[in-house]
Copies of this chain bind each other. A is one copy, B any other.
Amino acid sequence: VPLETVKIVLVETSHPGNIGATARAMKNMGLCRLSLVRPNQFPSSEATARASGADDVLYRAEICADLPQAIAGIPLVIGASARDRSIPWPVLTPAECARKIVANSGQAAIVFGREHSGLTNEELDLCGYLLRIPTNPHFASLNVAAAVQLAAYELRLAALAGIPTQPVRTADPPALAQELAHFYAHLEQTLVELDFLNPQKPKKLMRRLHRLFNRVELRASEVAILRGMLTAAQRAAEQKIRADE
């Protein structure tokens, strides 16, 4: 998973809580390289509190004097930007950004700007691409740590996409067709014995019950529970017949 080389750069962050929340968001998704360009306040107890256990990311964060220092030697630099820019620029969605970075073996940085004013045009000039996160046009400004969270989430998805997914839970396999057929026969028989189903006209009710239980994709263990319930109802119905006699 090429996430450990991806660098997250925060430029002139005002609130130390956002630095801590960024560290937590990164570690939650498997990222660990954080650069802070002229942070307003760091280290800070507020950053540590909001990191909530991602102290190692904060501890290893590098402090830089400017953006060129933070991205020195990194071949792919992507700047997060909420604003429309008049100069045409290649704009990536979070998913496209993530795929590009994973395709680049994680040799990349994503740069996030100031809480209120984002990145300057001079800083954006250092970025090969813009990352734009789709938002409500009437309330577009994301918290910086929330923006990092979304970018890191898409990075994790893109990295995992190359890894085969977990096998199906064999401990609780789906019911086989034959098991389902036996269940439906048992259900029909029980409903007849309970005087709930007219054996002359079983079709309409049984069709509705088929539709209901087919939707649920029953596990084999669940069929066993349901058939146990049916057997209990049959025992009661049998006693009822004896009582009636």
State the A residues within 8 Å of B (CB).
21, 24-25, 27-30, 52-54, 88, 94, 133-136, 139-143, 145-146, 149-150, 153, 156-157, 160, 169, 172, 191, 194-196, 205, 208-209, 212-213, 215-219, 221-222, 225, 228-229, 232-233, 235-237, 239-240, 242-244
Residue in contact with A232 in the complex, picked from B52, B195, B212, B213, CB distance below 8 Å:
B195
Q: How many copies of this chain are found per oligomer?
A: 2
Q: How far is the CB of A184 from chain B (nearest CB, A)?
A: 14
The main secondary structure of chain A at its interface with chain B is helix
- Find out whether the CB atom of B146 lies under 8 angstroms from the CB atom of A25: yes
Which 7 residue pairs across A and B have the least CB separation, nearest first?
A239-B240, A236-B236, A243-B243, A196-B232, A194-B232, A216-B216, A30-B136
Provided the pairs A196-B229, A232-B191 are in contact, do residues A172 and B88 lie with their beta carbons within 8 angstroms? yes
The residue in chain B whose Cβ has the minimal distance to the Cβ of A225 is B208
* B-side contacts of A232, CB under 8 Å: 191, 194-196
Q: Which residues of B contact A208 (CB under 8 A)?
A: 221-222, 225
Q: B209 contacts A135, CB within 8 Å?
A: no
